[in-house]
Amino acid sequence: MKSQKNIPTGKIQRATRFVATGVKVGGNYIKHYAKKAFNKDLSKDELHEDNARDIYDALSNLKGSALKVAQMMSMDKNMLPKAYTNRFTMSQYSAPPLSGPLVAKTFKQYFGKTPSEIYDKFSKEAVNAASIGQVHSAEINGKKLAVKIQYPGVADSVSSDLKMVKPFASIILGLPDKDIDKYLSEVESKLMEETDYELELRRSVEISKACAHIPHLVFSNYYPEYSSKKILTMDWLEGKHLKEFMQTNPSDEVRNQIGQALWNFYDFQMHTLKEVHADPHPGNFLMREDGTLGIIDFGCIKEIPSDFYKDFFMVINPHLLKDEEMMMDNFYKMEFLNKNDKPEEVAFYTEVFKKMIGLLCRPFRSEYFNFSDDEYFKEIFEFGERLSTMPEIRNSKEARGSKHSLYINRTYFGLYSILNELKANNIKTIRPAWLDEPLEVSQ
């Protein structure tokens, strides 16, 4: 892949790229409707392909928060037309890397030295280039290392980028501005944290240590002396990303062992640490033929407020939907329902969320769950499709759900998706005992 010699870092430069892309997207619509005038049965597949290509090309060269939004949306397969999912999935693994001179400039800025003056060996070419930064291999005293380098201007452009991404997000997702605003405000706070590599270093060490007891997981050691605000050095972990790993035809035993380790990793974080690795896309996991799983990239961590934790996980408890008072209390606390809802809106959304809970919480309803069941994921997709066409939802003037649920929901959706692609079955869905016990409505 051809490397980039520069990244637009100024607001005007980046805004110009967004405007140019907007013009291309507008042209795609004109072309589509011109064709449709002669063919009323013409689908939007070609339009989606053209828009996905033009939007991704722009975001991948701008990098930073712009590309991160594409990466996040690629995980929600039931939210996007297939063309966008296929194109944006590229951001999970690769994007055009920075050129050597830009990498050297970053090192000179933070260490006063070039990479070759710090490491015994340093790969000139990036081995992985994604949204916030790119990774190079290095070596010191025979120890192989991974060195993550943040792209220039990422932190300074988060807010302005998200404002400019908003129109594209509205087009792609078909959501009203109020929902996009709520979504992007939470995204902005997490992205600002992701650009702080000193924070990531601390969290990486803390969470790796806390989860070291979980069988079949492997974590890197981190090196503060070779790290800074924009550079992070850690042990190199061997392994394959999910798609590449599945091409090796791993056995059921190996796939299930990795799947169980992944479930246990998230279960422990959610219910014990109350903070979670909230970026579960395949690019952040390395799978091995011996059934072990390497965990990388602790840049996106969602801390779970204690009151939200109790209300969020109460929906897993089978007693909730049987107790009208308890259920309604929970729905208001979770902001599924709002105090200014009309009676017919309360009735409609209550039924919608009861069905949603019954579907999405199904893995928790039994001791073991088969994530290789494609029919289950087809149900989820079809449910999402039905919701998107309901006039009550399309015309709603209220955003639904606590802002804290955005990353927690995304975490579980990413986890479910990986387990499905891994074809993992008989996964023991361990959870705290209180999630099965009769509950009292909290005050």
User: Tens of pLDDT along 165-187?
Assistant: 666 566 555 555 666 676 677 77
What pLDDT, on the 0 to 100 scale, is given for residue 92?
42
> In a 10 Å sphere around its CB, with 0-12 CB exposed, 13-18 middle and 19+ buried, how is residue 30 labelled?
exposed
CB-based burial, 407-428: b 16+ in 10 Å, e otherwise? bbebbbbbbbbbbbbbbbbebe
Tell me what the mean pLDDT of segment 353-377 comes to.
92
Instruction: Delimit the domains of the chain by residue range.
Output: 11-94+158-173, 240-443
> In a 10 Å sphere around its CB, with 0-12 CB exposed, 13-18 middle and 19+ buried, how is residue 41 labelled?
exposed
Return all residues near 220 (Cβ < 8 A) that are at least 6 apart.
146, 204, 208, 234, 235, 236, 237, 294, 296
Tell me how far apart the alpha carbons of residues 323 and 25 are, in angstroms, rounded to a whole number.
Answer: 49
Q: Of 222-226, 241-245, 404-408, which range is least confident? A: 404-408
Model confidence pLDDT, tens digit, residues 79-124? 444 544 454 444 444 445 667 888 898 999 999 999 999 999 999 8
What pLDDT, on the 0 to 100 scale, is given for residue 110?
94
What pLDDT, on the 0 to 100 scale, is given for residue 238?
95
Q: Report which of 106, 105, 159, 116 is spatially closest to residue 139, judged by C-alpha positions.
A: 116
Report the range out of 33-47, 294-308, 398-412 with the highest average pLDDT. 294-308
Amino acid (1-letter code) at residue 283: G
Q: How confident is the model at residue 323 (pLDDT cuts 50, 70, 90)?
A: confident
pLDDT score of 401 more than 70:
yes
What pLDDT, on the 0 to 100 scale, is given for residue 380?
87
Q: Report which of 413, 394, 404 is spatially closest to residue 178, judged by C-alpha positions.
A: 394
Say if residues 94 and 130 touch (Cβ distance below 8 Å).
yes
Give 359's Cβ-side CA count (13 Å radius). 17
Tell me how far apart the alpha carbons of residues 262 and 429 are, in angstroms, rounded to a whole number.
Answer: 11
Say if residues 219 and 208 touch (Cβ distance below 8 Å).
yes
CB-based burial, 322-331: b 16+ in 10 Å, e otherwise? ebeebbebbb
Say if residues 253 and 302 touch (Cβ distance below 8 Å).
no
Phi (first) and psi of residue 408, to 5 degrees? -70, -45
CA distances from 60 to 12, 53, 131, 314, 326 (A): 18, 10, 7, 39, 46
What pLDDT, on the 0 to 100 scale, is given for residue 139?
98
Tell me how far apart the alpha carbons of residues 173 and 358 are, in angstroms, rounded to a whole number.
Answer: 24
Tell me how far apart the alpha carbons of residues 246 and 260 are, in angstroms, rounded to a whole number.
Answer: 16
Model confidence pLDDT, tens digit, residues 214-227? 999 999 999 999 99
Q: Report which of 208, 230, 239 is spatially closest to residue 221, judged by C-alpha positions.
A: 208
